[in-house]
Structure 1
Amino acid sequence: MPNRLAKALACATMAASAIGLFAAPSQAASTVPALPTYWSYGCDYGHACIRHRIPTANSYWNVEHCGDSGIRDYYDYAIAYGNGFTVYYQNGKWDYVAPWSQRTLDGTNLATMVRVYC
């Protein structure tokens, strides 16, 4: 009986070791560059943010860099925690959000780009 138990433990240990060889640790460096925008439950300080018109757990699109960010969806609210930005729509219209302000957006118009001014 002890030999059977020892054999079972040895097999389990080897299987766990083999699995561990192929598992990446949570701090492993990614080879994919970080995206300049991300979804969040709110607008993070220092970002330009637009809120998706359909409420979900992470409704705010946070833009992290200056310049143009392509988008293609419907948004109904904007917050500028820092730099001002403009939301451009498919029909050629746009909405400007002044620095350190917030405002409603045209949630019925397809947004195609956000331009953050730095």
Structure 2
Amino acid sequence: MSQGSSSQEQGEPLESTSNTKGERDMTKAQANTAGESISRRVADELHERIDQAAEKGEQFENTLHKGGAQAQQRTKEMTSSFNQLARDNPWALVGGSLALGILIGALVGRR
């Protein structure tokens, strides 16, 4: 090797302005701050989406409760109507049941 070799070849550390300990610490701090900023934005977005999903879930639940209440009311009305029909015309109910029984028997007998 030549006598004019660099200080790095002689085993001495090369001091560059971008690799000083203070600058590395500053770069790490900036990276940590940037990472925390990204983490905070992601967390905030996730919280917002969770809140939206919870709100939609509550709306869906309310819709189901209203639909269930309406179905229950219709069932009560139909039951009341059927009971009134059975009281007013019992022989029509007997004849309809007999016809339905014959139809089901014929369908099952064909198999």
Same fold, judged at TM 0.5 (above): no
More helix by share: 2
More strand by share: 1
Question: Which has the bigger relative contact order, CA under 8 A and spacing at least 6?
Answer: 1
Q: Larger C-alpha radius of gyration, 1 or 2?
A: 2
TM-score (norm 2): 0.31
TM-score (norm 1): 0.30
